[in-house]
Amino acid sequence: MAESPSAKKKREGIEETHGTPGAQGNGGSDGDSFPLAELRVRKVLRESARDKTIFLHGQVNGVSGDGTDAVVILEKTPFQEENISDLLKRHTKLQLQMTNDIYSTYLLYPPPQLNEIKTTVVYPATEKHLQKYLRQEVYLIRETGEDYKNISLPFIQSQSFSIQWVYNILEKKAEADRIIYENPNPSDGFVLIPDFKWNQKQLDDLYLIAISHHREIKSLRDLTSEHLPLLRNILEEGKGAILKHFAVAGSQLRIYLHYQPSYYHLHVHFTALSYDAPGCSVERAHLLSDVIDNLELDSQYYQKRALTFPLRADEALLKKFQEAGKA
């Protein structure tokens, strides 16, 4: 979808609010904010009681008055230890729900500043964004090296899912003040930045991504021993930067690549080991240290081996595998 300058400006305003204004002192002004109160909810795309999240498809009126699609993700944030005593002292109400012997449950109503909801906005959202967040049946695919060449690669090349946000980070056009570490080498360097799923207010759900400066590596499938210096830099320098910045040791980090990724530009996930991050399960995550080992053993390892990954029922790639009789 072509993006109008005003929509782009709005989007950039919104993305500022993905940051951690409190931590970095650059809170976006309300004037630039997404008009949440004007959002007409069209559909609940997905919700999770366990993760305390809800994904909404809504519309707001564009300049011409027609509805422009938006995805709004609301997520209750984890507790922050340093706020707990405030929360207990300054609650506005404690409402008894039930009591039985020594057991009782209450509803506690905290003041607004201790009751925040992380809000992520994709606006304007394309049909692909809506599909991405819609709850779907999931199928496992086993993709051989040949399947990749014949089915997945042509499909990826025919797609236009924009990775402009990645280039914006690499070119310091967005999120520049959030960069934690950079190795500027164009072939072996990368940028380490908080993932936008993490608000940086607590370490329990620490989540950063390392984005390679090299622009020609789409995914795990493209990696050969030629890329070992880049991968080793990401592993070692990434761990070092996180230790320095957040005092979290490498042994407390899960460092991995997704296959398939959502965005075909090489990036590596760094999450807290104790955090069950979305997409860290065995059918999607490949530990970076294992990837390095495999490439040291065989430069063509990821071109040769079969890779398993999940695809949602509505994903066009699943249809391609089904048409080829492979799913």
Binding site residues, ligand G7M, CB under 6 A:
165, 175, 193, 195-197, 209, 258, 261-263, 279
Residues 6+ apart with CB under 8 A from 172: 179
The least distance separating ligand G7M from the CB of residue 265, rounded to whole angstroms, comes to 8
Tokens of 58: 């809504």
The least distance separating ligand G7M from the CB of residue 165, rounded to whole angstroms, comes to 4
Q: Which C-beta is closer to ligand G7M: that of 8 or that of 40?
A: 8
Give the integer Cα–Cα distance in Å for 196 and 115: 20
State yes or no: 80 annotated in a binding site: no
The least distance separating ligand G7M from the CB of residue 96, rounded to whole angstroms, comes to 40
State yes or no: 267 annotated in a binding site: yes
Length, in residues, of the chain: 327
Catalytic residue among 18, 129, 227, 267: 267
Give the integer Cα–Cα distance in Å for 231 and 187: 11
Q: Which C-beta is closer to ligand G7M: that of 14 or that of 60?
A: 14
State yes or no: 198 annotated in a binding site: no
- Collapsed DSSP state (helix, strand, coil) of residue 197: coil
State yes or no: 268 annotated in a binding site: yes
The least distance separating ligand G7M from the CB of residue 261, rounded to whole angstroms, comes to 3
State yes or no: 259 annotated in a binding site: yes
The least distance separating ligand G7M from the CB of residue 60, rounded to whole angstroms, comes to 20
Q: Which C-beta is closer to ligand G7M: that of 133 or that of 263?
A: 263
Strand positions, DSSP E, the chain: 40-48, 53-61, 67-76, 93-100, 103-109, 117-122, 138-143, 181-183, 190-194, 207-212, 253-258, 267-272, 285-287, 307-312
Residues 6+ apart with CB under 8 A from 35: 60
State yes or no: 165 annotated in a binding site: yes
Give the integer Cα–Cα distance in Å for 61 and 68: 6
Q: Which C-beta is closer to ligand G7M: that of 175 or that of 315?
A: 175
CB 122 within 8 A of CB 293: no
The DSSP result for 69-123, as a single string, is EEEEEEEEPPP-GGGHHHHHHS-SEEEEEEEETTEEEEEEE--GGGS-EEEEEES
Tokens of 46: 């997905």
Q: Which C-beta is closer to ligand G7M: that of 87 or that of 155?
A: 155
State yes or no: 228 annotated in a binding site: no
Closest CA to 200 of 169, 226, 179, 224: 179
The least distance separating ligand G7M from the CB of residue 64, rounded to whole angstroms, comes to 26
CB 61 within 8 A of CB 68: yes
* Edge-to-edge strand list for the sheet holding 53-61: 40-48, 53-61, 67-76, 117-122
Q: Which C-beta is closer to ligand G7M: that of 56 or that of 268?
A: 268
Is 18 a catalytic site residue? Answer: no
Active-site residues, by number, are 267
Q: What residues form the annotated binding site for substrate?
A: 165, 175, 195, 197, 258-269
